[in-house]
Structure 1
């Protein structure tokens, strides 16, 4: 019985690495776990569906945030930012990269639009990058930093989802903890990402580099999007009002669904976006974020099967006896498991329910504190997200940087982000689990 979890996770990981759709990979792994535990295929499917409701709120949050991002993009307010970057930072490579990292960071918390800003912000800047001979790998590192580090350390926006999932996963498995404590527990791993960003910007990718045509998979006829000289107007002001309204509601209610819904409603009520565009905006939002939302639902069902079949309890018993309560070795192994699983799935959010079901019993038996357990779960969930070919944290940057066919997804985005973020996350996550 103790091998059920291992075999199931291996099935999921191998299928994901073979580029099988992540939803199918998780479903097949869940059925594998159920069948190996003595359930029929139908019983396994029913058990998985029964556990999917645990992440319904999070999935709905993603859908609404996607629509909110599309609505913000519709107003054209991002053109102002593009013009600013071109006017002020042309020729200043290091500052350009750091500002892009800052803008990306805002997309997770202050203006929670996730990757929606990248196809709007980056393509108009590609010619500027080429003129400066700016190494696009530095920009990829900056974008991935902004898409990950804020939600890892700050419980607002997407961070509210991330820390909420950690809390829910721990509480469901018998360990009480608050979102404030999870945020504090992730400061040490998050600081590793800051160091990784600084190394990428100031050391690894500081030299000039000429982007090679066709490096991203073939010749592409590319004309840099013309950015109109937009001036700040009433629509942009109303958009900012909607953004602030969404942020305030989110902070006071601690509910991202309420915040995103408030922002959307304000965009329509203030006529920042025409009401007749409502259907299109919701459709585009679902198209952008729907896959992630559904992955999280299925992952929740998968975690439910692992716990309900008793496979986790068996694994805990074997692991505790084998590792002899060696905290350092246990933390090391759990982080390695998180790295492999998350690279396969490509979603740190989607792996948390699975990791919590696995980690909490093992960590409790080994004597880890609640904050140390949160560090291990959060770090393991984040590990592999940067560097995974299937992750939004890498697909998003590539979608913008390869608009002209000069940026390779694996070698120019995945490998650089894996090296600069997963290695420090692993080291600092292990340290955090030991000291907390």
Structure 2
């Protein structure tokens, strides 16, 4: 069995326990980092030095959140979303399952067809909260739909973020002695992703199909979606065109440069320069943008520091290595162990992309020794790398949906996003990864 005193195991268990006890994620991450560092033999000072030194690892992501929040405020102030949502209402009434599947599909496009990742969430979701509430949609269902779209495509579609992730899997396997092409990775990931699809269907059609009431508390952004049936058909004006242009600039530059910071900043500047917003309004707009996503941005920063502490301890490699000697020739047991290691490591670090190189270095020799094929090995590495991402408190696959759904402070990050996504995706991913390893 696992070494239960391994710093990664202890630290992640502390993080999960504190999070489930509704301790704020920032405090939970800091305490879990302290536990991990002290358990590994680091002093308290060394632990915090490492943590603080690692904050910059997610600095660009945090800044992206701030700028995207600011852009979302500008869109809400323009009234553009209110006009769009008014035209969507006839299509949405009485079709909750359709709405959730449509959201999942839209999120899928954000990974591959138009690779903006989570950039669309703070712009689209807060104004739709009023519509969701009118339809009595359970926001946990929306969270699971969003997370499916943020994860499943990059596992199986070799475009956008999918090409990056699958390239990492293929390159790291090849570098560690097992040849695999990027084109083979989708086949390896087909069974795990099929498990995720089953999880989405269960969430939408069964788990979260019942009515759920929310208090009539609206933020400035959520208010943009409150469209009365007797509202006049608002005419489109110059301001709407400028805001759309700003969004288009953001999209194009994100694709060209691969940087949300450059793209979002350019979109904001365009809106200011073309006078859809006055420069003197910059301070209140930015304040509201920070208020919307500032907490999420800080969580990403601290999560980066937490990952640095786990890496500094050397406990990740130790955790993987200690599992290699006790499953003998059992491929089933080996697959279960490897998936479990991926779950523990990725739940703590909160990134599937960053975990793959760590796991591949150890898993490839293990898989080769026990007789797993390259496709089976790719399935294990890809699925075990992704398995903790959905339910991790520090993952952008959960932080992104929460940033949109909690605009009116009625959506809990742990219980309304992390627990539902863990239940509906990590369990199917675990089973799918094991099955794929045995049949491929």
TM score, norm. by length of structure 2? 0.72
Kept in 2, the 8 Å contact 1:397–1:413? The answer is no
| Distance verdict in 2 for CA 1:50–1:15, change over 3 Å | same
Q: Name the structure 2 match of 1:259.
A: 263
SS of the aligned residue for 2:119 comes to coil
Inter-partner Cα distance in structure 1 for 2:430 and 2:330 = 18
Q: Name the structure 2 match of 1:67.
A: 70
| Distance verdict in 2 for CA 1:93–1:362, change over 3 Å | same
Kept in 2, the 8 Å contact 1:5–1:33? The answer is yes
1:379 to 357, 378, 386: 386
1:123 to 121, 127, 130: 130
Inter-partner Cα distance in structure 2 for 1:250 and 1:297 = 21
Inter-partner Cα distance in structure 1 for 2:269 and 2:280 = 13
Cα distance, 1:268 vs. partner? 1.9
Q: Which moved more, 1:79-88 or 1:325-334?
A: 325-334
2:42 to 27, 39, 45: 39
SS of the aligned residue for 1:113 comes to helix
Q: Is structure 2 residue 52 aligned with structure 1 residue 49?
A: yes
Q: Name the structure 1 match of 2:304.
A: 300
2:244 to 224, 236, 240: 240
| Distance verdict in 2 for CA 1:65–1:428, change over 3 Å | farther
Kept in 2, the 8 Å contact 1:34–1:40? The answer is yes
Q: Summarize the alignment of residues 219-368 of structure 1 with structure 2, pairs less than 5 Å apart.
A: 225-227=226-228, 228=231, 229-324=233-328, 328-336=332-340, 348-349=350-351, 355=355, 359-367=359-367
SS of the aligned residue for 1:323 comes to coil
Cα distance, 1:19 vs. partner? 2.0
Q: Is structure 2 residue 197 aligned with structure 1 residue 194?
A: yes
5+ residue gaps, structure 1: 131-135
| Distance verdict in 2 for CA 1:402–1:196, change over 3 Å | farther
Q: Name the structure 1 match of 2:61.
A: 58
Q: Which moved more, 1:264-273 or 1:372-381?
A: 372-381
Cα distance, 1:259 vs. partner? 1.9
Inter-partner Cα distance in structure 2 for 1:56 and 1:402 = 25
| Distance verdict in 2 for CA 1:220–1:312, change over 3 Å | closer
Cα distance, 1:41 vs. partner? 0.9
Q: Name the structure 1 match of 2:9.
A: 6
Task: Give RMSD over aligned pairs.
Answer: 4.6
Q: Summarize the alignment of residues 122-141 of structure 1 with structure 2, pairs less than 5 Å apart.
A: 122-127=129-134, 129=135, 136-137=137-138, 140-141=140-141
Cα distance, 1:98 vs. partner? 3.7
Q: Which moved more, 1:419-428 or 1:254-263?
A: 419-428
Kept in 2, the 8 Å contact 1:189–1:425? The answer is yes
Deviations 1:298-349 (A, max 9, x none): 2222222233333333333312223348665344345446657777x7x945
Kept in 1, the 8 Å contact 2:196–2:429? The answer is yes
Q: Summarize the alignment of residues 395-414 of structure 1 with structure 2, pairs less than 5 Å apart.
A: 395=402, 399=406
Cα distance, 1:97 vs. partner? 4.2
5+ residue gaps, structure 2: 369-373
Inter-partner Cα distance in structure 2 for 1:165 and 1:67 = 32
Cα distance, 1:210 vs. partner? 5.4
Kept in 1, the 8 Å contact 2:154–2:162? The answer is no
| Distance verdict in 2 for CA 1:249–1:24, change over 3 Å | same
Cα distance, 1:181 vs. partner? 7.8
Inter-partner Cα distance in structure 2 for 1:161 and 1:66 = 25
Cα distance, 1:362 vs. partner? 3.5
Deviations 1:195-246 (A, max 9, x none): 433444456667xx555x6xx6xx7689994444333333222222222221
Kept in 2, the 8 Å contact 1:337–1:380? The answer is no
SS of the aligned residue for 1:39 comes to coil
